[in-house]
Amino acid sequence: MQIFDDFCKSLNKELQRANFGFSYNRVHLFYRSQWQKDETNIIYLLYRWIWALFFLAVYITCIIVQFCDGKFFIYMTNWGFGLCTITMLISAVQVTCWHYDLKNTRSRVQESGNKAKTTRGLKMYWWLYNMTLSLALIISTVYWVFLHGKMNDKPTRFPTISIITHGLNSLMMLIDFLVVAFPLRILHMIYGMSLAIFFFIFTLIYHLCGGTDEFGNHYVYPILDWNNPQRCLVTFVGIFILIICYWLLLFGLYKLKRMFNRAFSVVWTPHAVGLI
């Protein structure tokens, strides 16, 4: 019950207008892992670059083998994986600047202490990360529940790529979410919603302009066929409900992550193990 009460208190605290923004005074948390003890960690730096280069390699491969006269860019899956790639690359660059104190990144934050302010670059990264995280979960859910095997009459042409972009994308983002140290804010779910609205508007305009998918169908996805606007409306509402549910679950997971981190920090201190 104590955990539930703490969760409710945190939820109430989160629902403040100021939390729509991206101001946060513990700036150093954007550059480090939730689980590292020192200010810099070479393992975390390598982790960030391995993650970033993997996403970049997969995305370039996807463009090469699935370009299809530009139809590659009409799909939400490819939007989402592209955002994952950009987000991971930005994170890797930022952690590198912190680790080697390039442009005095670490020095300035340490000198400012709790008065440090999130830079435009960090705000952009936080904004992208929020959209990428929710979008990855939505893409995986919608694809495997509603679209797998229903996009066309042909078997999946690139099964390995499909599994990575529709399944591993969510798994990898969830793993990364458990690793990073910066907070998750409830009200930031609106940015994932705004991207969903933008995509729905795009599919409508694409339909009105006579656009087709790579198989000649006059829609991007069969569940977003604007010849059946009622189905599109149901899809629209369902996506919004999924975003809300997933974001609340992620918020609970974030609180559990913080709780475990504090518990381990206490247990593994020298005082706790009787060394001092």
| Residue 274 counted as domain residue | no
Rg of the chain on CA atoms, in Å:
21
pLDDT: is 165 or 17 the higher one? 165
Confidence of residue 75 (pLDDT cuts 50, 70, 90): very high
Task: Say how far apart CA 33 and CA 47 lie, in whole Å.
Answer: 10
pLDDT(275) > 70: no
Task: Say how far apart CA 159 and CA 154 lie, in whole Å.
Answer: 12
| Residue 273 counted as domain residue | no
Q: How many domains in the chain?
A: 1
| Backbone dihedral region for residue 180 (phi beyond 0: left; psi -120 to 50: alpha; all else: beta) | beta
| Residue 275 counted as domain residue | no
pLDDT(276) > 50: no
pTM of the model: 0.89
The tens digit of pLDDT for each residue in 82-137 reads 999 999 999 999 999 999 999 999 999 999 877 888 999 999 999 999 999 999 99
Q: Are 96 and 46 in contact (CB under 8 A)?
A: no
Tell me the mean pLDDT in the region 75-88.
Answer: 96
Structural domain boundaries enclosing 248:
2-267
Confidence of residue 42 (pLDDT cuts 50, 70, 90): very high
pLDDT: is 266 or 48 the higher one? 48
Contacts of 107 (CB under 8 A, 6+ apart): 101
3-state helix, strand, coil in the chain (%, to 5): 75, 0, 25
pLDDT of residue 14: 82
Tell me the mean pLDDT in the region 139-154.
Answer: 81
| Residue 87 counted as domain residue | yes
AA letter at 156: T
| Residue 24 counted as domain residue | yes
C-alpha closest to that of 145 among 239, 245, 220:
239
Structure tokens at 194: 């705004």
Task: Say how far apart CA 79 and CA 72 lie, in whole Å.
Answer: 9
